[in-house]
């Protein structure tokens, strides 16, 4: 769910950018706005889970380097501040 919050708007932008000619202006608007609203709703759920239930999350997206005991990963770390900012950014973006 947390990775969907970050990547749904990106997927919407890619669909509108690459397939906008085939789906038309209205289709591109529906796809991008719809995925952004879904991302905003998921952000509200994440705020409840992380902010009120105190369950911070760490989602590893890609293992980059691993050498003995040294690990370097691309990861999303979702804590209370991150959840609040996700709600603010996706909420305002979906209203615009």
CA gyration radius, the chain? 16
pLDDT at position 14 is 94
Q: Are 76 and 2 in contact (CB under 8 A)?
A: yes
Report how far Cα 75 is from the mean position of its chain's Cα atoms. 13
- The pLDDT tens digits of the residues spanning 55-86 come to 888 888 888 888 888 888 888 888 899 899 99
Q: Whole-model pTM?
A: 0.83
Residue where the block lists tokens 């209205």: 26
Residue 60: phi, psi to the nearest 5?
A: -80, 120
pLDDT tens, position by position, 3-60: 899 899 999 999 999 998 899 889 999 999 999 999 999 999 999 988 888 888 888 8
Tell me how far apart the alpha carbons of residues 40 and 54 are, in angstroms, rounded to a whole number. 20
């Amino acid at each position: 769910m947390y990775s969907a919050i970050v990547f749904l708007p990106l997927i919407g932008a890619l669909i509108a950018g690459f397939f906008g000619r085939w789906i038309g202006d209205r289709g591109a608007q529906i796809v991008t706005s719809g995925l952004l609203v879904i991302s905003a709703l998921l952000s509200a759920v994440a705020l409840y889970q992380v902010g009120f239930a105190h369950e911070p999350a760490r989602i590893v997206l890609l293992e980059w380097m691993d050498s003995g005991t040294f690990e370097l990963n691309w990861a999303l770390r979702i804590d209370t501040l991150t959840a609040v900012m996700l709600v603010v950014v996706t909420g305002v973006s979906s209203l615009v």
